[in-house]
Amino acid sequence: MRAAGRTVRDVLPFVLAGAVVLTILLLAPPSPRPEPVGSGPAEAVRPTAPELVVDPSRWWMPAGNSTTLSAAWIDVPPGCDVSAAWYRWTVAGGAAVGLLNSTAGENVTFVAATAVSGTTTLAVRSVDLEQCGPASATGVGAAEANLTVDAPLELEDLEDVPAVIPAGGTSALDGAIYGGEPPYSLRIVWGDETTTETAVAGPGAFDVPHAYPAGMYRPSVVVTDSAGLVAAGSADEILTASDGLALGIASNGSEVDVGEPTTFAPDALDVPIGSLSGWSCGTPAITNPILTLTLANVSCTFTQAGVGSVVLEVYPVAPELPVSTTLTVSVEPTPALLAATAAQAGEVGQPAAVAFAVQGGVPPFRLDWSEVGTDVAGSLSVPADGVVELPLVPGAPGSLAIVAHLVDADDVASATATTSLFVDPALNVTLATARAVDPTNVSIGLEANVVGGAAPFLWGVIPTTAPDSATAGTGLLDSAGSFDWEGWYAEDGNASGTAVVVDADGAFRAVPFDVATVPPLRAQVTLLSDGGAAPGQFTAVLDVSGGLPPFEIGVRASDGSNWNLTAAADGGESWSLTVSTGGPLSVSVSVADALGPEWNETGSVLVAPAPPATAVGVPSGTSAVDPLAPVGVVAAVLLGAGGTYFLRRRRRAQAAPVPTVDPVAVLRGIIEPADGVDRSTAELLADEAGVPLEEAHAAIDRLIADGTVRSAKDPDGGEVLAWSVLS
C-alpha cells in the first residue's frame, strides 16, 4: 500500500481525466435551434409578364363609319392563367373626333364623326389577375390604337365655263374635291360619247377642258380616292355648243340664300345686233321681268326658301324668233346654328368636345369659336352633313361656356350659338400606408383617397412582390371616396408597388408605395459588471430592433458558460448571469428572429470572483433546451468533488505547511507541455500545485501581457493558452 502523502504528480492523472471530460462536454456542439414554425413561404415574385394589346392597333376608316376594337392580355406562359379585372377605354385625342359605344369591356365600337381628316388615338387600360401554380400577382397595362379617319369624299361646284360655246369650241369643266384619301382619279363623261380619265393629286379645285360638237350637254363626273371611296356629280347647268344664237346663265353655284341678293351673268353666242334681252327671277314661276338693251348682269333676291328660277330671254329683230334659257337654283333658308342639348361634361386636362349642328344656308361654312373667359379660340370648316364637334382640353373646373359663330360661303349669312361644358376637377389620388406586426407576419395596409375626376372610378393595387395573402386587389368606386387594401408578408424587405385609378373620362393616376415589411434585424448589447455586490455575476443588456419576433438569444462566455434565452418582442431586455470564474471575460451574443437571420456581437466584462463553493456549478439562467447541459453539470460536480476529496486527503497527510511555490514555474509546467490548454483547467491545476486561484489568474494575465503566454479563442468562445516559443 502506498504511503499516505500524495504529491501533485500523484493526483495529476485524475485531475487531467476530469478536465478532459469537462472539456469534451464544453466542446460538444449545442443542439440545433428549432426552425420557427409558420414563418411563411419563400419570397413570391410576379410569375408572369403578360402584355396588353389592342386589335387592330392601326386602322383607316372614312368618317361616319365604325369599327370594333378588342383588348387582350397576351404572352401568358404555359400553365398560367391571366384574367382581366377591368378595362377602361377612352378617346385620347387627335385631329379627328369620334365616339365610343362603351368605355368598359373587352370589345368596343368606335364611330368616326364626319369631321376633317386626321388621326385619333384610342387608349385602353386594364388590371389583370395572374395565377401560376401557387404564385399569384396583379398587373396593370395600357395600349393604344391609332385610327386614321377621312372626311367623306365630296364632289362640289361642277360647272362648264363658259356654258355657251360655238360648235367645236372648248369649255372647261370646273369643280372641287374635298375629303377622302388623296390622290384621286376622275372619270368624266362629256355627253358627246367621249370620256376622259385623269388624276388629281390633292383636295381642292380642278378644271378639265373639252371640245364639244354642236349640241347641248351636261357632263358628269365620278371621282374615286386611293381608299376606294366614290363620289359622283353632274354640272349645275347645261352647256350649249351652237353654230347660231345660243344662251346660257353663269352663277356661283346652284344654291342661293333666301333674302340675300345674288348676281347672275348672261352667257350668249351670236346675238343679232339690235336684239333686246330680258331677265326674270322668282319662285317658282317666272315673274318680275327685267328688260335691258344690252346683255348685262342681273341681281335677284329670292324671298322664300325652295326652288327658284332665273330666266334669260333674247328678242332678236324679226323675222328671228325669241330664244330663252332657264337656270334652276335651290333657295336655302337662313342658316341656323344649334348647340347640342345633351348634358356635356369634361375634366381638367382631359380631351373633351362640344357639338354644334348647322341647318340651312349655303355651304361651305366656316365656324369660328372661342372659350368665354380664356384666350382659347379656333376656326374650322363644317363638314357636308353640318355636324361639327369642337375638340377642347379644359384648363379649369366649373362651367365653361363656348361661343360659336357660323359664316356661309358668301360671307353674307351668319348665325351664333352658345353652349357650355361642365368641367370636373382633375383626378387626384393620395395614398396613406400603415404597418402592423403580429406573431407570425407583418400586415401592410393602404388607404387611397380619390377626389376630383369623373365617376365611376376603377382601381387596382399592383404589388411588386406578391404578399402571402391579401384582400381584393381591384374594385369600383361609384363616386369619389376611398378604397382600402391590405397584404400580409413574412419576409425581410419592402412591400412596394403601385395603386392605380382610372376615371370615366380616361384620366389615369398611378401612385407608388414602398413600406418596409420586416426591417433588418439589429441589436445592441451592453455588458455590465455587478461588482462586489454580486460576485461571479454580470448583467447583459440587449436592445433589439427590426426582425420578426420572437427572438432567440445565445450568450457564451469565455469561461465556457453559455445561456439560451428568448425575447417575445423587440425592445430592451436584461439578464443577470452567473459564471464559474471571475476576472475579465469575453462574451459573445447572438440574436436570431423567426425568419432565421442572426445578429452577432462580442464584448468583454470584468467579473468579481465568486466564493469557492459556487465557483463550479450550474450557471444562473442556463436553459434546459440543450440536452447535454445536465450531463455537463454532473460532470462538473463530479470533477469538483473529486478535486476536493484529493485536496482534503493531501492536506490530512501533510505533516508540515506547504512551502511557497513560484506561480510562473508551476504555470509553465502546466501550459508548456500541453501546447494548448483551457485557461480554467490551467488555473485549477495551478491551485492543486499550491498556487491560489486568484494568484494563478493574475499571473496568467501578466504572462499574456508580456508575451510569455499566447491566448486564443476556441470554436466555443473559450480561452486557450500556449507557452510562447520565444520565452
- Residue 208 has a pLDDT of 96
| Mean pLDDT within 701-720 | 84
Rg (CA), the chain: 52
- Residue 4 has a pLDDT of 39
- Residue 408 has a pLDDT of 81
Q: pTM (2 decimals)?
A: 0.58
| Mean pLDDT within 115-122 | 76
Residue 2 reports pLDDT greater than 70: no
Please write the tens of the pLDDT for every residue from 15-32.
344 443 333 333 344 333
Burial grade of 704 (CB within 10 A; 0-12, 13-18, 19 or more): middle
Residue 225 reports pLDDT greater than 80: yes
Distance CA 264, CA 296 (A): 9
- Residue 134 has a pLDDT of 82
pLDDT band for position 370 (50/70/90)?
A: very high
Residue 409 reports pLDDT greater than 80: no
- Residue 315 has a pLDDT of 85
pLDDT band for position 590 (50/70/90)?
A: very high
Identify which of 62-66, 602-606, 659-663 has the greatest average pLDDT.
602-606
Cβ atoms 229, 62 nearer than 8 A? yes
Residue 285 reports pLDDT greater than 50: no
pLDDT band for position 114 (50/70/90)?
A: low
Q: Is-cis flag, bond preceding 284, omega within 30?
A: yes
| Mean pLDDT within 444-460 | 94
Cell of 139: 398587373
- % of the chain with per-residue pLDDT over 90: 26
Residue 450 reports pLDDT greater than 90: yes
- Residue 120 has a pLDDT of 84
Identify which of 13-17, 164-168, 595-599, 635-639 has the greatest average pLDDT.
164-168
Cβ atoms 497, 460 nearer than 8 A? no
Count Cα neighbours of 602 within 13 Å in the Cβ-side half-sphere: 10
Cell of 360: 340651312
- Residue 339 has a pLDDT of 86
Residue 109 reports pLDDT greater than 90: yes
DSSP string, 59-121: EEEETT-EEEEEEEEE-PPTTEEEEEEEEEEEEEEESS-EEES-SSSSEEEEEE-S-SSEEEE
- Residue 9 has a pLDDT of 40
Distance CA 434, CA 430 (A): 14
- Residue 63 has a pLDDT of 76
Residue 93 reports pLDDT greater than 50: yes
| Mean pLDDT within 437-453 | 87
Please write the tens of the pLDDT for every residue from 631-663.
333 323 333 333 333 333 333 333 334 446 788
pLDDT band for position 261 (50/70/90)?
A: confident
- % of the chain with per-residue pLDDT over 70: 81
The region of weakest confidence among 382-396, 435-449, 631-645, 692-706 is 631-645
Residue 722, amino acid:
A
Residue 327 reports pLDDT greater than 60: yes
Residue 271 reports pLDDT greater than 90: no
| Mean pLDDT within 280-301 | 65
Burial grade of 504 (CB within 10 A; 0-12, 13-18, 19 or more): buried
